[in-house]
């Protein structure tokens, strides 16, 4: 069954090109101001538009507004969207990120259709994804997901396990681990998660990849619609924005 969500009139209205273009413009201004405060260049920041739960019109509106990176949290929805609009690995003009938890039996879809896998979080998944990437004759860019909140999240490695896990992944020739990803605690005031972002940055900066050819620490994917400015101030190189680009969703 095709997993692309239906394009209802209400949703198509919500994500029409002019609306998305306006949201992207406002987000870009906020990103530029946050980069300014942090003394960083906005050019060094990747904006991943999280298109989960939205129909293909979201991708069309997003690309019309200059977006290139799109993120999905379900493997089969990503697969079907990437079939409709192929990512760079398949010769297309967008870049697909799988940002959600991946079951091993769906790793094949990600290895085949995604450009990046941003939620690597277990030895068994690394082994399976490496195998699937090999079958597709590719080296899969990945981020390791960290459970930085300590409690309320199901996924991600404990911070103290991350560096050992990166060492463990040195054996996988078909994975290129490019950095770390995390979701901060869900709070009303983003100042409350500044400490979590700082902890991520420390984990990111203190890994010694000298003897690990599979790891290059280039990307720190932190920051979502409610906290991306704080994340940028704390060193994010990649923000993942859903609501602030496409408007509210009924579900995740
Ligand atoms: C849904 C989702 C996002 C985007 O969430 P918003 O709050 O809508 O910006 C970012 N990252 C992951 C992993 C997600 O699942």
Read off the pTM.
0.98
Length of the chain: 252
Q: Given this model, what pLDDT does residue 69 score?
A: 98
Contact assessment for residue 31 and residue 47, using Cβ atoms and an 8 Å cutoff: yes
Q: Given this model, what pLDDT does residue 125 score?
A: 98
Mutational test site, ligand 1, from 242, 247, 250, 251, max ligand atoms within 8 Å of CB: 242
Residue-wise pLDDT tens digits, 119-138:
999 999 999 999 999 999 99
Instruction: Please tell me the residue having the least CA distance from ligand 1 atom 12.
Output: 99
Atom of ligand 1 nearest to the CA of 181: 13
From residue 245, give the alpha-carbon distance in Å to each of 108, 203, 226, 232: 29, 29, 12, 17
- Band of residue 107 on the pLDDT scale cut at 50, 70, 90: very high
With b for 16 or more beta-carbon neighbours within 10 A and e for fewer, the 18-53 pattern comes to ebbbebbeebeeebeebbeeeebeeeebbbbbbbbb
Atom of ligand 1 nearest to the CA of 252: 1
Atom of ligand 1 nearest to the CA of 226: 7
Residue-wise pLDDT tens digits, 184-215:
999 999 999 999 999 999 999 999 999 999 99
Find the angle CA(49)-CA(50)-CA(53) to the nearest 5 degrees: 140
Mutational test site, ligand 1, from 14, 15, 50, 75, max ligand atoms within 8 Å of CB: 50
Atom of ligand 1 nearest to the CA of 240: 10
Question: CA torsion angle for 8, 11, 12, 13 (degrees, to 10)?
Answer: 120
Q: How far is the CA of 239 from the centre of ligand 1 (A)?
A: 9
User: What CATH class has 9-245?
Assistant: alpha beta
What is the average pLDDT across 100-110? 98
Q: How far is the CA of 211 from the centre of ligand 1 (A)?
A: 33
Asked if the model's pLDDT at residue 251 lies above 90, the reply is no
Q: What are phi and psi of 140, to 5 degrees?
A: -90, 120
Asked if the model's pLDDT at residue 139 lies above 90, the reply is yes
What is the average pLDDT across 96-102? 98
Mutational test site, ligand 1, from 73, 121, 180, 219, max ligand atoms within 8 Å of CB: 73
Give CA–CA dist 18/30, Å, rounded.
19
- Band of residue 151 on the pLDDT scale cut at 50, 70, 90: confident
What is the average pLDDT across 151-172? 93
Atom of ligand 1 nearest to the CA of 228: 9
What is the average pLDDT across 51-55? 98
Q: Given this model, what pLDDT does residue 192 score?
A: 97
Instruction: Please tell me the residue having the least CA distance from ligand 1 atom 13.
Output: 99
């Amino acid at each position: 069954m095709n997993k692309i969500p239906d394009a209802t009139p209400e949703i198509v209205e919500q994500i029409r090109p002019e609306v998305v273009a306006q949201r992207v413009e406002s987000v870009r201004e906020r990103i530029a101001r946050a980069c300014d405060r942090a003394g960083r260049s906005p050019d060094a920041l990747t904006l991943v538009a999280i298109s989960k739960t939205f129909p293909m019109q979201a991708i069309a509106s997003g690309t019309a507004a200059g977006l290139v990176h799109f993120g999905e949290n379900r493997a089969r929805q990503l697969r079907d969207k990437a079939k409709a609009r192929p990512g760079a690995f398949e010769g297309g003009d967008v870049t697909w990120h799988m940002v959600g938890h991946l079951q091993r039996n769906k790793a094949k879809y990600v290895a085949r259709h995604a450009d990046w896998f941003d939620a690597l979080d277990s030895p068994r998944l690394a082994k399976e994804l490496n195998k699937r990437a090999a079958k597709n004759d590719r080296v899969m860019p990945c981020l390791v997901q960290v459970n930085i909140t300590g409690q309320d999240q199901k996924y991600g490695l404990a911070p103290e396990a991350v560096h050992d896990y990166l060492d463990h992944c040195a054996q996988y020739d078909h994975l290129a681990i490019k950095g770390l990803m995390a979701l901060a605690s869900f709070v009303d005031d983003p100042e409350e998660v500044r400490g979590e972002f700082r902890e991520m940055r420390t984990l990111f900066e203190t890994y010694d990849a000298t003897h690990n050819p599979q790891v290059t620490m280039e990307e720190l994917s932190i920051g979502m619609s409610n906290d991306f400015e704080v994340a940028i101030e704390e060193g994010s190189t990649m923000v993942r924005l859903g609501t602030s680009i496409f408007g509210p969703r009924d579900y995740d």
